[in-house]
């Protein structure tokens, strides 16, 4: 009999939780391997009641691959024995709230969760989605001593997917014809989506689109500001697309990346592309299909692109400064 895989999701009663859990349970993400979901949310009666409601709906789907559901308000229970921990839960940014205040507000959550992950840790991988995700990932990893920093990721896959859709739309092709898009830096408005190495139907995106002004201006801006545009249109932040990107991340890390392809994730900086060490910054990576990854090396970037990457990494250094007392 195949051993079930245990997957923890925090903030499971929230918007993203409501989209992600069904795709984790359905068999789509882990194939035929049975899944036990370990769902964490706040110790507030209404929140725990809502979480029970989500668990009831999961049961009602009758997924053959769902082997169990545990709902809890205790991170030690949620992370016990997991292979994946998806850290979604955190407070959203309130109106007029500065980014630094959000960082200070959410940072402490990731100390406790880092400690609990350390206790429960087997050979797990952690994906931080809750914002500011790069810096929250740094806090969690730093408070999870003994677990290699390379097992932690912050999610920038949504930004990559947004960039793919923008390029496909401009070139009048399907998303499937776009490849080799990378997101560099922070999951914030400073991120840099690289089109210089992207391909459209196997040809350089720059030669297909032939409009450098659009690529450097509208394209980059649309990707950087897409989160805001969704809030303006929907009145709520992206949820289904964020959940979908997290599923893409897990699936892509679980399988060996096809030759010549890559995907984006914020990883523990090894200094590639002149990124400072000691931060989680987004880079193009490939997976070995066994839980390990490598940063794609040797991409050619213009001085203009390198400047953009420098700026977004400087923002990450400034965020690290804000949370320095939370790091071990
Ligand atoms: P919701 O407010 O709908 O849900 C958040 C859930 O987290 C709530 O159920 C809340 O009770 C729970 N929570 C809060 N603190 C917790 C704690 N200490 N332990 C466990 N649970 C806790 O937000 P949702 O729309 O689901 O978004 C969740 C996070 O994802 C936010 O931080 C959001 O900014 C971030 N996002 C990140 C994205 C990315 O690409 N990295 C994109 C989408 C999204 O903006």
pLDDT digits (tens, 9 = 90+) for 17-61: 999 999 999 999 999 899 999 999 999 999 999 999 999 999 999
- Residue 290 confidence (pLDDT): 94
Say if CB 9 and CB 37 are below 8 A apart: yes
Which residue's alpha carbon is at the smallest distance from atom 4 of ligand 1?
A: 14
- Residue 120 confidence (pLDDT): 86
> At 92, is the pLDDT very low, low, confident or very high (cuts 50, 70, 90)?
confident
Number of helical H runs and strand E runs in the chain: 12, 14
Percentage of the chain beyond pLDDT 70 is 99
Maximum Cα–Cα distance for the chain, whole Å? Answer: 57
Distance 288 CA to ligand 1 centre (A): 30
Does 249 qualify as catalytic in the annotation? no
> At 210, is the pLDDT very low, low, confident or very high (cuts 50, 70, 90)?
very high
Average pLDDT (277-291) is 97
CA pair distance 295, 282, nearest whole angstrom: 10
- List the beta strands (DSSP E) in the chain: 5-10, 35-40, 66-72, 84-87, 125-128, 152-154, 178-179, 182-184, 192-194, 199-200, 203-204, 263-268, 280-287, 293-295
Torsion of CA 123, 127, 133, 138, to 10 degrees: 10
How would DSSP label each residue in 163-196?
Answer: HHHHHHHHHT--GGGEE--EEEB-SSTT-EEE-T
CA pair distance 47, 62, nearest whole angstrom: 24
Digit-coded pLDDT (tens) for 217-245: 999 999 999 999 999 999 899 999 999 99
Distance 89 CA to ligand 1 centre (A): 4
Which residue's alpha carbon is at the smallest distance from atom 29 of ligand 1?
A: 130
Which residue's alpha carbon is at the smallest distance from atom 39 of ligand 1?
A: 129
Distance 87 CA to ligand 1 centre (A): 8
Burial zone of 213 (CB within 10 Å; 0-12 exposed, 13-18 middle, 19+ buried): exposed
Nearest atom in ligand 1 to the alpha carbon of residue 89 is 7
Digit-coded pLDDT (tens) for 301-323: 999 999 999 999 999 999 999 99
Distance 173 CA to ligand 1 centre (A): 33
- Residue 93 confidence (pLDDT): 74
Catalytic residue among 125, 170, 187, 308: 187
> At 142, is the pLDDT very low, low, confident or very high (cuts 50, 70, 90)?
very high
Digit-coded pLDDT (tens) for 252-268: 999 999 999 999 999 99
- Residue 97 confidence (pLDDT): 76
Which residue's alpha carbon is at the smallest distance from atom 18 of ligand 1?
A: 109
- Strand pairing of 84-87 and 125-128? parallel
| Other Cβ atoms within 10 Å of 231 Cβ, number | 14
- Residue 188 confidence (pLDDT): 95
Digit-coded pLDDT (tens) for 104-125: 889 999 999 999 999 987 899 9
- Residue 30 confidence (pLDDT): 96
Mean predicted lDDT score pLDDT of the chain: 96
Average pLDDT (62-68) is 97
> Which structural domains are found in the chain, ordered by start?
5-154 (3.40.50.720), 157-322 (3.90.110.10)
Say if CB 158 and CB 240 are below 8 A apart: no
Q: Give the mutation target among 14, 47, 105 for probing the ligand 1 site: most ligand atoms within 8 A of CB.
A: 14
Nearest alpha-carbon partner for 83 in 265, 253, 280:
253
Nearest atom in ligand 1 to the alpha carbon of residue 158 is 40
Which residue's alpha carbon is at the smallest distance from atom 12 of ligand 1?
A: 11
> At 91, is the pLDDT very low, low, confident or very high (cuts 50, 70, 90)?
confident
> At 183, is the pLDDT very low, low, confident or very high (cuts 50, 70, 90)?
very high
Nearest alpha-carbon partner for 20 in 257, 230, 239:
239
> At 164, is the pLDDT very low, low, confident or very high (cuts 50, 70, 90)?
very high
CA pair distance 107, 219, nearest whole angstrom: 31
Instruction: Kindly list the protein residues whose Cβ atom lies closer than 6 A to any atom of ligand 1.
Output: 10-11, 13-17, 40-42, 47, 88-92, 109, 129-131, 133, 155, 158, 187, 237-239, 242
Q: Residue 70 forms beta bridges with which residues?
A: 38
CA pair distance 97, 196, nearest whole angstrom: 35
The continuous run of DSSP H or E covering 316 comes out as: helix 303-322
Distance 34 CA to ligand 1 centre (A): 26
CA 98 to chain CA centroid, nearest Å: 22
CA pair distance 98, 185, nearest whole angstrom: 20
């Amino acid at each position: 009999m195949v051993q079930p895989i245990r997957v923890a999701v925090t903030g499971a009663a929230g918007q993203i939780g409501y989209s992600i859990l069904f795709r984790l349970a359905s068999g789509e993400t882990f194939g035929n391997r049975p899944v036990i979901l370990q769902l964490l949310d706040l110790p507030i009666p209404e929140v725990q009641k809502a979480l029970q409601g989500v668990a009831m709906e999961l049961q009602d789907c009758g997924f053959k691959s769902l082997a169990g559901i545990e709902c809890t308000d205790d991170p030690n229970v949620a992370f016990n024995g997991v292979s994946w921990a998806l850290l979604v839960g955190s407070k959203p940014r309130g109106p007029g709230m500065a980014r630094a205040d959000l960082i200070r507000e959410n940072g402490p959550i990731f100390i406790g969760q880092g400690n609990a992950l350390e206790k429960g840790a087997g050979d797990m991988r952690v994906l931080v989605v809750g914002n500011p995700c790069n810096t929250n990932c740094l806090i969690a990893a730093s408070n999870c001593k003994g677990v290699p920093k390379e097992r932690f990721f912050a999610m920038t896959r949504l930004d990559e997917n947004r960039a793919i859709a923008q390029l496909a739309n401009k070139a009048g092709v399907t998303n499937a014809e776009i490849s080799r898009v990378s997101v560099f830096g922070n999951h914030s408005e400073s991120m840099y989506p690289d089109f210089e190495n992207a391909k459209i139907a196997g040809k350089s995106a720059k030669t297909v689109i032939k409009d450098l002004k659009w690529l450097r201006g509208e394209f980059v801006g649309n990707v950087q500001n897409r989160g805001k545009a969704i809030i303006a249109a929907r009145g709520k932040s992206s949820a289904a697309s964020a959940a979908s990107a997290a599923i893409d991340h897990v699936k892509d890390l679980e399988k060996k990346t096809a030759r010549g392809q890559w995907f984006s994730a914020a990883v523990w900086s090894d200094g590639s592309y002149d990124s400072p060490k000691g931060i989680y910054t987004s880079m193009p990576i490939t997976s070995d299909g066994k839980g390990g990854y490598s940063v794609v090396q040797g991409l050619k970037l213009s001085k203009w692109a390198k400047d953009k990457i420098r700026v977004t990494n400087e923002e990450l250094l400034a965020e690290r400064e804000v949370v320095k007392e939370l790091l071990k």
